[in-house]
Amino acid sequence: MLDIRFIRDNPEIVEKALKKRNYAVDSFKALKEIIKLDSEWRDIKKEEEELRAERNRLNIMIINKKKEGKKADKEIKKSSDISGRIKEISVETEELEGKRNALLIQLPAVPHESVPVGEDERKNREVRKWGRPAKKSRDVLPHDRIGEMTGWIDFERGVKLAEHRFSILKGPVAKLERALINFMLSVQTTHGYTEIAPPYLVNTKAMTGTGQLPKFENELYRCRDDGLWMIPTAEVPLTNMHAGEILDEAQLPIKITAFTPCFRREAGAYGKDIKGLIRQHQFDKVELVKFTAPETSYDELEGLTQDAERILQLLELPYRVVELCTGDLGFASAKTYDLEVWLPSQDRYREISSCSNCVDFQARRANIRFRRGGKLECVHTLNGSGIAVGRTLIAILENFQEDRKTVRIPKVLQDFMGAEEITFA
């Protein structure tokens, strides 16, 4: 959530940010209404302050008159009237704050000045590449074809048990996924992240704190009888672990990681990536989250991105790093790098991780602060996939495929797998 003081002092910056993000007309209307409600709130708070000062003055007069044995009926009556008005103002300010905050949570984060301006992903900027793609579509069988041939990726039974975009992994592929999870967590915990095993269901307050609600309600799975939501990413429970807390400056940065399944309805994605494991309603991911001081958060973003890259480098998977433009940024992000791994069957790089600095946007919504001296400040929160397990699985099955019948196991996974290769033909 944006700081109302920032909007109050910099309305033109927020308006420009909305334009850069290509947000709808409704967002500009919301911004104008927020400014209007805030002005009304400040006027009425000023009246409250003046009335309290007047009541204090009257109370002193009443005390002095009583000491002198004089009547103070007039002052007592006026003080009582003022107290009644102050109570009315309390109700009015609460209503104004409620209306203002309901609109505030609809506004996205302001992009960092370094973020390239653009309407959509076509304006994203390639930052760097690592590794050289050795295979193309003519050289490999797609992962979904391997799954169908061997039965190791069972799409039909996934549909039978749930619906379209669910699947079952079997045998060597299921073991490879488990090996990847163990490997990713082992790497990140070695580099200073504390492993967390969070709930897979969270409440509405947690979803609101990280920005999934109210904007993305249609993309989420909800347990309606309990008021709980299935997590779309471990970012939600990890970030909200410190909701409503005051941290000490000495604790920062806090670095945590978790493996969880992720659940997304993909309501707007029908017709996209309908084959294979690319876009599932349930998928596994290792998530990285940081809580940092404001002045170090962009340096920490570079570090977090490198932490995610390290997984791909150790797995010897070619990838590139892309900086997202303003029109492609996530709702809560001020700056994001996407990691895109090479998928031979598609002759293209595909996203496998997003690493974002959400600055104080989530911390303000979730009320996560730290104490610096005698002052309280919002922390900055960062998150990134470290990395998406299913897409890593795809990348290995295709990039390490030999003669369309064998998949070599990357060296760093061989101990986890207890094998050097998988033969499927």
Catalytic residue set: 264, 279, 351, 354, 391
For every residue of 345-400, DSSP letters joined together read GGTEEEEEEEEEE-TTHHHHHHT-EEEETTEEEEPEEEEEEEEEHHHHHHHHHHHT
Distance, CA of 215 to CA of 27 (rounded, Å): 12
Distance CA 356, CA 248 (A): 23
- Per DSSP bridges, beta strands 335-343 and 194-195 are unpaired
Structure tokens at 204: 């509405």
- What is the b/e burial string over 328-366, where b = at least 16 CB atoms within 10 angstroms of the residue's CB? bbbbbbbbbbbbbbbbbbbeebbbbbbbbbbbbbbbbbb
Q: Tokens 């990285």 label which residue?
A: 288
Tokens of residue 362, six digits: 């989530």
- Residue 218's nearest CA partner among 165, 160, 270 is 270
State residue 403 phi and psi, 5-degree precision: 55, 25
Read off the amino acid at residue 359: V
